[in-house]
Protein backbone atom coordinates (compact mmCIF):
# COMPACT_ATOMS: atom_id res chain seq x y z
CA UNK A 1 0.00 0.00 0.00
CA UNK A 2 1.27 3.47 -0.87
CA UNK A 3 2.23 6.07 1.70
CA UNK A 4 -0.98 8.06 1.36
CA UNK A 5 -4.48 8.13 2.83
CA UNK A 6 -7.66 8.11 0.77
CA UNK A 7 -9.99 11.01 1.59
CA UNK A 8 -13.31 11.04 -0.28
CA UNK A 9 -14.38 14.30 -1.94
CA UNK A 10 -17.64 14.27 -0.01
CA UNK A 11 -15.63 14.40 3.24
CA UNK A 12 -16.49 18.09 3.45
CA UNK A 13 -20.24 17.38 3.13
CA UNK A 14 -20.23 14.87 5.98
CA UNK A 15 -22.82 15.85 8.59
CA UNK A 16 -20.29 15.76 11.42
CA UNK A 17 -17.59 17.65 9.49
CA UNK A 18 -20.04 20.43 8.61
CA UNK A 19 -20.57 21.10 12.32
CA UNK A 20 -16.89 21.11 13.28
CA UNK A 21 -14.84 24.19 14.03
CA UNK A 22 -11.80 24.82 11.79
CA UNK A 23 -9.54 23.53 14.58
CA UNK A 24 -11.58 20.31 14.90
CA UNK A 25 -11.58 19.76 11.13
CA UNK A 26 -7.82 20.15 11.08
CA UNK A 27 -7.37 17.59 13.87
CA UNK A 28 -9.81 15.15 12.24
CA UNK A 29 -7.81 15.33 9.02
CA UNK A 30 -4.65 14.81 11.08
CA UNK A 31 -6.07 11.56 12.50
CA UNK A 32 -6.75 10.35 8.95
CA UNK A 33 -3.47 11.40 7.32
CA UNK A 34 -0.60 11.51 9.83
CA UNK A 35 2.55 9.47 9.28
CA UNK A 36 1.49 6.56 11.52
CA UNK A 37 -1.79 5.86 9.72
CA UNK A 38 -1.62 2.37 8.25
CA UNK A 39 -3.62 0.10 5.96
CA UNK A 40 -5.57 -1.33 8.91
CA UNK A 41 -6.86 2.00 10.27
CA UNK A 42 -5.62 1.17 13.78
CA UNK A 43 -2.32 2.67 14.86
CA UNK A 44 -0.31 4.07 17.77
CA UNK A 45 -0.91 7.75 18.53
CA UNK A 46 1.64 9.14 20.97
CA UNK A 47 0.50 12.30 22.73
CA UNK A 48 3.92 14.00 22.61
CA UNK A 49 4.22 13.38 18.88
CA UNK A 50 0.68 14.63 18.21
CA UNK A 51 1.41 17.80 20.20
CA UNK A 52 4.58 18.42 18.19
CA UNK A 53 3.00 17.77 14.79
CA UNK A 54 -0.31 19.61 15.26
CA UNK A 55 0.77 22.47 17.51
CA UNK A 56 -2.13 21.75 19.88
CA UNK A 57 -1.54 21.20 23.59
CA UNK A 58 -2.38 17.85 25.19
CA UNK A 59 -5.61 19.12 26.75
CA UNK A 60 -6.95 20.23 23.37
CA UNK A 61 -6.02 16.88 21.83
CA UNK A 62 -7.78 14.99 24.63
CA UNK A 63 -10.85 17.14 24.08
CA UNK A 64 -10.87 16.40 20.34
CA UNK A 65 -10.35 12.68 20.95
CA UNK A 66 -13.37 12.74 23.27
CA UNK A 67 -15.47 14.51 20.67
CA UNK A 68 -14.75 12.04 17.89
CA UNK A 69 -15.19 9.11 20.29
CA UNK A 70 -18.61 10.44 21.28
CA UNK A 71 -19.49 10.84 17.61
CA UNK A 72 -18.68 7.18 16.99
CA UNK A 73 -15.83 7.94 14.57
CA UNK A 74 -12.88 6.63 16.63
CA UNK A 75 -11.91 4.66 19.71
CA UNK A 76 -8.80 5.42 21.76
CA UNK A 77 -7.08 3.18 24.31
CA UNK A 78 -4.96 5.21 26.68
CA UNK A 79 -3.16 2.11 27.97
CA UNK A 80 -1.75 1.08 24.58
CA UNK A 81 -1.92 4.59 23.05
CA UNK A 82 -3.74 3.12 20.04
CA UNK A 83 -6.48 4.71 17.98
CA UNK A 84 -9.05 2.82 15.91
CA UNK A 85 -10.76 4.70 13.07
CA UNK A 86 -14.18 3.05 12.97
CA UNK A 87 -15.07 3.48 9.28
CA UNK A 88 -11.57 3.26 7.83
CA UNK A 89 -12.21 -0.17 6.32
CA UNK A 90 -15.21 1.09 4.33
CA UNK A 91 -13.15 3.61 2.38
CA UNK A 92 -9.59 2.26 2.38
CA UNK A 93 -9.65 -1.53 2.33
CA UNK A 94 -9.55 -3.51 -0.91
CA UNK A 95 -8.77 -7.08 -1.90
CA UNK A 96 -5.66 -6.20 -3.86
CA UNK A 97 -2.74 -8.41 -2.93
CA UNK A 98 -0.56 -5.65 -1.50
CA UNK A 99 -3.38 -4.06 0.49
CA UNK A 100 -4.48 -7.35 2.06
CA UNK A 101 -0.89 -8.23 2.99
CA UNK A 102 -0.49 -4.83 4.65
CA UNK A 103 -3.80 -5.17 6.54
CA UNK A 104 -2.88 -8.61 7.90
CA UNK A 105 0.61 -7.42 8.85
CA UNK A 106 -0.76 -4.38 10.70
CA UNK A 107 -3.39 -6.52 12.42
CA UNK A 108 -0.69 -8.67 14.01
CA UNK A 109 0.78 -5.57 15.65
CA UNK A 110 -2.42 -4.40 17.41
CA UNK A 111 -1.96 -4.52 21.20
CA UNK A 112 -5.46 -3.66 22.48
CA UNK A 113 -7.45 -6.91 22.72
CA UNK A 114 -10.79 -5.13 22.41
CA UNK A 115 -9.64 -3.44 19.20
CA UNK A 116 -8.50 -6.82 17.87
CA UNK A 117 -11.96 -8.29 18.46
CA UNK A 118 -13.61 -5.37 16.66
CA UNK A 119 -11.15 -5.54 13.76
CA UNK A 120 -11.61 -9.31 13.47
CA UNK A 121 -15.30 -8.66 12.89
CA UNK A 122 -14.42 -6.12 10.18
CA UNK A 123 -12.06 -8.62 8.53
CA UNK A 124 -14.74 -11.31 8.50
CA UNK A 125 -17.48 -9.02 7.15
CA UNK A 126 -15.15 -7.64 4.46
CA UNK A 127 -14.25 -11.14 3.32
CA UNK A 128 -10.52 -10.82 3.87
CA UNK A 129 -10.38 -14.47 4.97
CA UNK A 130 -11.51 -15.47 1.47
CA UNK A 131 -8.79 -13.44 -0.21
CA UNK A 132 -6.29 -16.25 -0.62
CA UNK A 133 -8.90 -18.45 -2.23
CA UNK A 134 -9.01 -15.85 -5.03
CA UNK A 135 -5.23 -15.57 -5.19
CA UNK A 136 -4.88 -16.86 -8.75
CA UNK A 137 -7.20 -14.16 -10.12
CA UNK A 138 -5.39 -11.40 -8.26
CA UNK A 139 -2.01 -12.54 -9.50
CA UNK A 140 -2.79 -11.30 -13.02
CA UNK A 141 -2.59 -7.63 -11.93
CA UNK A 142 -0.32 -5.14 -10.20
CA UNK A 143 3.09 -6.18 -8.95
CA UNK A 144 2.67 -9.73 -10.22
CA UNK A 145 2.79 -8.53 -13.82
CA UNK A 146 6.10 -6.80 -13.22
CA UNK A 147 7.52 -9.90 -11.57
CA UNK A 148 6.23 -12.08 -14.42
CA UNK A 149 8.07 -9.98 -16.96
CA UNK A 150 11.41 -10.25 -15.14
CA UNK A 151 11.24 -13.72 -13.64
CA UNK A 152 9.11 -15.65 -16.13
CA UNK A 153 7.66 -19.04 -15.40
CA UNK A 154 9.91 -19.66 -12.36
CA UNK A 155 8.42 -16.64 -10.63
CA UNK A 156 4.91 -17.88 -11.46
CA UNK A 157 5.56 -21.21 -9.77
CA UNK A 158 7.07 -19.58 -6.68
CA UNK A 159 4.20 -17.10 -6.49
CA UNK A 160 1.68 -19.93 -6.63
CA UNK A 161 3.45 -21.80 -3.85
CA UNK A 162 3.64 -18.65 -1.73
CA UNK A 163 -0.08 -18.07 -2.29
CA UNK A 164 -0.90 -21.59 -1.14
CA UNK A 165 1.22 -21.19 2.00
CA UNK A 166 -0.45 -17.86 2.77
CA UNK A 167 -3.88 -19.39 2.19
CA UNK A 168 -3.20 -22.24 4.59
CA UNK A 169 -1.78 -19.87 7.21
CA UNK A 170 -4.65 -17.37 7.09
CA UNK A 171 -7.42 -19.97 6.93
CA UNK A 172 -5.92 -21.94 9.80
CA UNK A 173 -5.60 -18.84 11.96
CA UNK A 174 -9.11 -17.61 11.24
CA UNK A 175 -10.59 -21.09 11.75
CA UNK A 176 -8.96 -21.30 15.15
CA UNK A 177 -10.18 -17.80 15.98
CA UNK A 178 -13.77 -18.64 15.05
CA UNK A 179 -13.88 -21.98 16.81
CA UNK A 180 -12.12 -20.90 19.97
CA UNK A 181 -13.86 -18.24 22.03
CA UNK A 182 -11.95 -16.35 24.73
CA UNK A 183 -11.98 -18.08 28.10
CA UNK A 184 -14.71 -16.98 30.49
CA UNK A 185 -12.27 -14.87 32.48
CA UNK A 186 -10.51 -13.36 29.46
CA UNK A 187 -13.75 -12.49 27.71
CA UNK A 188 -15.26 -11.06 30.86
CA UNK A 189 -12.15 -8.96 31.56
CA UNK A 190 -12.43 -7.37 28.12
CA UNK A 191 -16.13 -6.70 28.66
CA UNK A 192 -15.57 -5.30 32.16
CA UNK A 193 -12.81 -2.98 30.95
CA UNK A 194 -15.22 -1.25 28.58
CA UNK A 195 -18.42 -1.32 30.66
CA UNK A 196 -18.73 2.09 32.38
CA UNK A 197 -21.08 1.19 35.27
CA UNK A 198 -18.75 -1.03 37.29
CA UNK A 199 -21.20 -2.34 39.90
CA UNK A 200 -21.73 -5.88 41.28
CA UNK A 201 -18.78 -7.41 39.46
CA UNK A 202 -19.23 -10.84 41.06
CA UNK A 203 -22.85 -11.03 39.90
CA UNK A 204 -21.84 -9.99 36.40
CA UNK A 205 -19.12 -12.64 36.27
CA UNK A 206 -21.53 -15.35 37.45
CA UNK A 207 -23.98 -14.36 34.75
CA UNK A 208 -21.20 -14.31 32.14
CA UNK A 209 -20.08 -17.84 32.99
CA UNK A 210 -23.66 -19.15 33.05
CA UNK A 211 -24.22 -17.87 29.50
CA UNK A 212 -21.47 -20.18 28.10
CA UNK A 213 -20.54 -17.52 25.57
CA UNK A 214 -19.38 -18.61 22.12
CA UNK A 215 -16.98 -16.53 20.03
CA UNK A 216 -19.87 -15.36 17.85
CA UNK A 217 -21.88 -14.25 20.87
CA UNK A 218 -18.81 -12.56 22.37
CA UNK A 219 -18.35 -10.47 19.22
CA UNK A 220 -22.06 -9.56 19.22
CA UNK A 221 -21.84 -8.47 22.88
CA UNK A 222 -18.79 -6.29 22.25
CA UNK A 223 -20.33 -4.71 19.15
CA UNK A 224 -23.56 -4.01 21.03
CA UNK A 225 -21.58 -2.48 23.89
CA UNK A 226 -19.74 -0.17 21.48
CA UNK A 227 -23.09 1.11 20.17
CA UNK A 228 -24.42 1.61 23.69
CA UNK A 229 -21.32 3.58 24.72
CA UNK A 230 -22.05 6.27 22.13
CA UNK A 231 -25.83 6.33 22.55
CA UNK A 232 -28.30 8.94 23.76
CA UNK A 233 -29.71 6.48 26.29
CA UNK A 234 -26.40 6.02 28.11
CA UNK A 235 -25.50 9.69 28.03
CA UNK A 236 -28.77 10.86 29.58
CA UNK A 237 -28.33 12.52 32.99
CA UNK A 238 -24.63 11.77 33.06
CA UNK A 239 -25.06 8.02 32.61
CA UNK A 240 -27.64 7.63 35.38
CA UNK A 241 -29.62 5.11 33.34
CA UNK A 242 -26.77 2.77 32.47
CA UNK A 243 -27.86 -0.60 33.95
CA UNK A 244 -25.69 -2.82 36.11
CA UNK A 245 -23.61 -5.10 33.89
CA UNK A 246 -25.33 -8.26 35.17
CA UNK A 247 -28.72 -6.76 34.31
CA UNK A 248 -27.51 -5.70 30.86
CA UNK A 249 -26.21 -9.21 30.14
CA UNK A 250 -29.26 -10.95 31.57
CA UNK A 251 -31.57 -8.91 29.35
CA UNK A 252 -29.59 -9.58 26.17
CA UNK A 253 -29.34 -5.81 25.83
CA UNK A 254 -26.49 -5.97 23.31
CA UNK A 255 -29.22 -6.69 20.74
CA UNK A 256 -31.16 -3.52 21.64
CA UNK A 257 -31.40 -0.59 19.25
CA UNK A 258 -29.68 2.57 20.51
CA UNK A 259 -30.01 6.14 19.29
CA UNK A 260 -26.60 7.45 18.16
CA UNK A 261 -25.22 10.25 20.32
CA UNK A 262 -24.22 12.45 17.39
CA UNK A 263 -27.86 13.06 16.39
CA UNK A 264 -28.96 13.95 19.91
CA UNK A 265 -27.26 17.32 20.36
CA UNK A 266 -25.17 20.04 18.84
CA UNK A 267 -21.79 21.28 19.94
CA UNK A 268 -23.29 24.18 21.92
CA UNK A 269 -25.55 22.15 24.24
CA UNK A 270 -23.25 19.24 25.09
CA UNK A 271 -23.39 18.54 28.86
CA UNK A 272 -19.93 18.57 30.34
CA UNK A 273 -20.48 15.84 32.91
CA UNK A 274 -21.93 13.23 30.56
CA UNK A 275 -20.92 10.24 28.47
CA UNK A 276 -17.68 12.01 27.59
CA UNK A 277 -16.62 11.88 31.24
CA UNK A 278 -17.58 8.21 31.40
CA UNK A 279 -15.41 7.48 28.37
CA UNK A 280 -12.54 9.44 29.94
CA UNK A 281 -12.73 7.15 32.95
CA UNK A 282 -13.16 4.07 30.76
CA UNK A 283 -10.17 4.82 28.52
CA UNK A 284 -8.01 6.37 31.25
CA UNK A 285 -7.87 9.87 29.76
CA UNK A 286 -8.74 11.63 33.00
CA UNK A 287 -10.91 14.74 33.18
CA UNK A 288 -10.29 17.92 31.20
CA UNK A 289 -8.54 19.58 34.10
CA UNK A 290 -6.48 16.53 35.01
pLDDT in tens, 170-195: 565 555 544 545 677 888 998 999 99
Which of 154-158, 174-178, 274-278 is modeled with the greatest confidence? 274-278
- Domain locations in the chain? 9-92, 127-180, 184-283
Q: What percent of the chain has pLDDT over 70?
A: 70
- Using the predicted structure, report yes or no on whether residue 1 has a pLDDT greater than 80: no
| DSSP assigned state of 182 | P
Q: What is the pLDDT of residue 75?
A: 95
Helices (H), the chain: 15-19, 22-33, 47-54, 58-70, 88-92, 97-108, 113-126, 135-138, 143-179, 184-194, 201-210, 215-229, 232-239, 245-250, 275-283
Hey, which of 50-59, 145-154, 246-255 has the most confident mean pLDDT? 50-59
Higher per-residue confidence, 277 vs 27: 27
Q: Are 65 and 57 in contact (CB under 8 A)?
A: no
Model confidence at 214, pLDDT cuts 50, 70, 90, reads confident
**What span, in angstroms and rounded, lies between the C-alpha atoms of 283 and 82?**
11
pLDDT recorded at residue 236: 85
Mean pLDDT within 103-114? 94
User: How far apart, in whole angstroms, are the C-alpha atoms of residue 26 and residue 36?
Assistant: 16
Mean of pLDDT values over 262-286 = 53
Is 145's pLDDT higher than 60?
no
Residue (of 272, 248, 253) closest to 199 by Cα position: 248
Integer Cα distance of 164 and 42 in angstroms: 28
Q: Grade residue 65 by pLDDT with cuts at 50, 70 and 90.
A: very high
- Lowest pLDDT segment from 4-18, 158-172, 192-206, 242-256: 158-172
Phi, psi angle pair for 259, to nearest 5°? -85, 125
Strongest mean pLDDT among 96-100, 109-113, 226-230, 279-283: 109-113
pLDDT band at 216; cut points 50, 70, 90: confident
Averaged pLDDT for residues 62-79: 93
The yes-or-no verdict on residue 146 having pLDDT over 60 is no
**Which CATH architecture is the domain 9-92 placed in?**
Orthogonal Bundle (1.10)
Given a cut of 80, whether residue 202 has pLDDT beyond it is yes
pLDDT mean over 149-175: 55
Amino acid sequence: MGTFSKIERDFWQDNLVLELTPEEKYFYLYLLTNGRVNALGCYELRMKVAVLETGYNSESIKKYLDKFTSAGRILFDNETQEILIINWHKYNWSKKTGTVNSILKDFKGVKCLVFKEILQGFLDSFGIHNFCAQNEDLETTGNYEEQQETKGETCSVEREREGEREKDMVEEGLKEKKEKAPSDQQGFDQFWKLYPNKKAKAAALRRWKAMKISNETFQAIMEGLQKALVSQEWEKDGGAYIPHPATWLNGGCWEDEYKPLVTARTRSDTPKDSAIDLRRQMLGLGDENG
